[in-house]
Structure 1
Amino acid sequence: MTKDLDAPLDERVRNRIRQLRTERSLTLQQVAAAAHLDVSTLSRLESGKRRLAIDHLPGLAGALGVTVDELLGPTVRPDPRVQRDPIVGAGMTMWPLTHYGTATGLQAFRCVIEAERSTPPDPLPVHEGRDWIYVLSGRLWLLLGEDDLTIVPGEAVEFSTLTPHWFGTHAGMVEIIGIFGSHGERVHLDH
């Protein structure tokens, strides 16, 4: 039997909660809020200073995106390979390059922007966060406030998304690596 399975059930579950929370780059506050627990309660549950009750399990499992059975199961070593389905919308396909966003909500993507993404919305979108984009191929058209920029392969841009912005292409496909927050991911797929 593995060391994990030899551990008492409450210790295994505590370890599993901490593992899942860490893998997903979630803070104690984020999991506690989603599980409808006080942050101090979750902290004491993880550290073993408070006993885990059966009524905690459904909320914690839901907050961590697993079933109760998976939460009660042994700690498993996660597969480091990122194998998530692409996200398609508004003339762009985004392949996630991270399992989950960081605690700040940032996620990396490889994106292909199709030639038809050539008409900026009016008004340009604004949202919380920052965007970071590195152009791999093609010529990226970036509207950033009053600036009308062309970003070529090998160039990177980083900017506050509180500035009105949009990116697309004048002609031809563009391939980029982008780091976007959760707000940015949704906005870019809509515009």
Structure 2
Amino acid sequence: MDTETEAILDAIGPRLRAVRTSCGLTLTEVAERTGLAVSTLSRVETGHRKPTLDLLIPLARTYQTPLDSLVAAPATGDPRMHLRPHRHASGGIIVPLTGYPGRVQVFKHVLGPREPRLRAHEGHAWLYVLAGTLRLLIGDAEYLLAPGETAEFDPRTPHWFGPADATPVEILHLFGPHGDKPVPRVTHR
């Protein structure tokens, strides 16, 4: 077994103990819920027994957590399959859809009600409304965009965008940090 795999397996026991204690459960309670022996659970948590799928699956169910979070295996394949949403400081959720530093970035935003605060910065922005109504302020102009509508603008002009009312709005946001912008090659009707 290679050292990376060995390190991943060695980290599972302590992770299981941390998850169990954060759930406020004792080994006895987990044993009752999973049908696994207390001694087996203890040996896995202390690293005296290697975890197997027949042990991990009932634990994932009991802890109501994905199996891969218990194992913490390295991400493989397409990084878009391992999206990590996070809360934005100004409110709402942002899901990065690309990870290309210095190139055009793509995000999905779910924006809740918030007060407009105009800001300006370098780059180029393109928005596509997925759901809800987007209120977009660019300088002194105000626009309301419905699902399927887009906006493209230079963010050096003070701007703000968010929901038009108390209902959250979902958008796709393409941002070119160096002024890169989408180049339409085909428009077919």
Structure with larger Rg: 2
Normalising by structure 1, we get a TM-score of 0.49
Normalising by structure 2, we get a TM-score of 0.49
